[in-house]
Amino acid sequence: NETRYIIIIIIMNALVPSFILFVLLVASVAATVVFFHFELHSLRLTYQGDIASVNDSLRQVQSQQSTYVQQVKTLTKLVSESLNATDEYIHNITNTVSETKDVITENMATVQDIQHDQNSLMAVQFAGMFTLLVILVSGYHLSQHVRHMHSPVVQRKIMA
């Protein structure tokens, strides 16, 4: 009876720190998930605002572009009637509009690339941080077994 009681006490002493370590690990993972969720939501809102701003700028440029197109048509009609020298002028305006469209398209692609890169980097940083935390807690747990080696037969199996 005493032997069973001693074995039960030894097993409980060995399992309680492991259980506490498990609970701490689960709590840290849960906290990480919640924190990451809020950070991701915040970043999403920020980028949605940035994209909305870019879309507003694009709409403004498109509005200006439609105004410019009307002006170009009017000027083309007036100048073609009077001088017949407007071909180069129209060509230059068309190139400017095309270049503006290209620049806006490139800027939108750049914003999307930055958003993707930042999300990936943050996920890697969180994973690395919690990996290091688990290694430190596990090392501490093993060092406690090594320091208080009262039952080598049982503790050796726990540390393996």
Contact by Cβ (8 Å): 41, 35: no
How much is the average pLDDT of 126-142? 91
- Reported as a single tens digit per residue, the pLDDT across 15-73 is 777 777 788 888 988 999 998 888 888 888 888 888 888 888 888 988 888 888 888 88
Q: What is the pLDDT of residue 84?
A: 61
* Other CB atoms within 10 Å distance of the CB of residue 74: 10
125 or 159: whose pLDDT is higher?
A: 125
- Dist CA 56 CA 8 (whole Å): 70
Contact by Cβ (8 Å): 108, 6: no
pTM of the predicted model as reported, rounded to 2 decimal places? 0.31
